[in-house]
Amino acid sequence: MDEKKTVAVVGSGVIGAAIALELQRRGLQVTMIDKGEPGRGTSYGNLASIALDFAAGSGPSTWRKIPRWLLDPEGPVWLRPAYALKVAPWFLRFIAAGRPARLRAIEDAGMSLSNQALADVRAMLGVIGAPELMSDEGCLAIYETEAEFAGDRGHIDFMRRYGLDFDVLSGGDIQAIEPALSPSIAKAVLLPDNKTIRDPYQLVVKLADAARALGATFVSGAVRNVEKTGDGSSVVLLENGERITVGSVVLAAGVHTRFLAEKLGEPIPLETERGYHTQIMRPGVSMRHSVIWPHRAFMITPTAGGIRVGGNVELAGLDAAPDFRRARVLVRHAQRAVPGLKVEEATEWMGHRPSLPDTIPIISPSSKMPGVWYATGHGHLGLTYSATTAQLVADMVTGRKPSVEMAPFRIDRY
């Protein structure tokens, strides 16, 4: 095959695997490279939600909550004191991105992806022959008190502004559609289009398998750098000394992409927002909807053959050992919302959301090395944006005009 039509995709999480499949479908010869197995990174354990409304930025209303969250040992944000100085520059940029003037542009950009995300995920599931991987039910945002609901008014306004479909429910109407929920839940907002993926890990496995079935190859190894040759090709250098020469390279290594970007001379403020889950295989209740409790910032999701409880943001870097007390706090909160929830046959997990301070991803050509592309920084929304990101990257790599305005996602905004 003409070398120009070959492409290496570094990272086989949900982002890299979706891109690899789409590029292979468009006639390129794809080499997928991962230091582990496809889908065993952050994409393994997310909360399985196609969260279309999550493009809401973090403005002053979020900042106001942060001091309370940080002081509450059961709150949703944890900062390890030893990491505070390291994360400070990222945090200051996060605050700056929430300025009202910037916030609207960020939300417009995020919603340009959200607007097509559900249709793109559905189409991607069709391509891999697994439409059943997405449930028909939406997500319920729950509020224990009227005051909690009133406190989320900004989010309701956001959904109205962007035309997202939702329905406000009260009292018995809530248990009528989700009987497992406690009668103490005063209000709920049903988001019918926030569908749930029945198993996020299996999704990645199936994407990678589908790419291979079309002719993509998989190389196991850690990438340490990318170099340019005299004729314009790129050489992907692996830690084991292997060199793979290709026409184009897509860097989709989740939070680890920051190390590769640094080597290419374009550092990006990619931080890990660590999150936890508890996967309960004998929960003692069944649930149809994903449930999010905005005031406590966590989710309860029927997925992977059981019920998954998770969320949290822990700022502690890549190397600190997991602190599963975070996960247990969330299970206690979940039992308050779902009184019948039992914790039998449960496993705990921690993953690294690849997060940029302005909360929108980098989907962009390199500003330093022609023929290299980035798809990273999807933060809380990598599953949601996976299929859309794959379309956009494939458009850019193959020279087609992408369906959304790509300027907000460029790497050189940093």
Cβ-based nearer residue to ligand FAD, 45 or 98 = 45
Q: Looking at 6, 12, 114, 279, which residue binds ligand FAD (CB under 6 A)?
A: 12
Which are the contacts of 88, defined by CB distance < 8 A and separation ≥ 6?
none
Rounded to whole angstroms, the Cα distance separating 43 from 383 reads 7
Q: Is 310 in the site for ligand FAD (CB under 6 A)?
A: yes
Contacts (CB under 6 A) with ligand FAD, residues 150-189: none
Among 41-49, 102-110, 160-168, 209-217, the segment contacting ligand FAD (CB under 6 A): 41-49
Name 150's Cβ contacts closer than 8 Å, sequence gap at least 6: none
Q: H or E segment at 67?
A: helix 60-71
248 binds ligand FAD (CB under 6 A): no
In 3-state terms, what secondary structure has residue 126? helix
Residue 235 · residue 227 · CB < 8 Å: yes
Question: Which one of residues 26, 35, 155, 342 is an interface residue with ligand FAD (CB under 6 A)?
Answer: 35
Assess 308 for contact with ligand FAD (CB under 6 A). no
> How many other CB atoms are there within 10 angstroms of residue 378's CB atom?
29
DSSP codes joined into one string, 95-125: HHHTSHHHHHHHHHHHHHHHHHHHHHHHHHH
Identify which of 396, 409, 347, 383 has the alpha carbon closest to the alpha carbon of residue 13.
Answer: 383
| Candidate segments 5-13, 19-27, 97-105, 329-337, binder of ligand FAD by CB under 6 A | 5-13
Closest approach of Cβ 44 to ligand FAD, in Å?
A: 7
CA distance 369 to 243: 17
Please state the closest distance from residue 146 (CB atom) to ligand FAD, in A: 27
> Of the ranges 13-21, 108-116, 151-159, 321-329, which one interacts with ligand FAD (CB under 6 A)?
13-21
- Residues 355-394: x where in contact with ligand FAD by CB under 6 A, - otherwise, as a string: ---------------------x-xxxxxxx----------
356 closest CA partner among 115, 106, 108:
106
Token pair 């706090």 in the structure block, residue: 329
- Window contacting ligand FAD (CB under 6 A); options: 33-41, 73-81, 122-130, 177-185: 33-41
- Burial (CB < 10 A; 0-12, 13-18, 19+), residue 330, is buried
In the complex with ligand FAD, the residue whose CB is nearer, 175 or 245, is: 245
Output 311 or 357, the one with its CB closest to ligand FAD: 311
- Residue written as token pair 């406690």: 182
Give the residue, chosen from 9, 23, 33, 111, that forms a contact with ligand FAD under the rule CB under 6 A.
Answer: 33
Q: Residue numbers of the site for ligand FAD (CB under 6 A)?
A: 10-16, 33-36, 40-43, 46-49, 51, 222-223, 252-254, 256, 275-277, 310-311, 351, 353-354, 376, 378-384
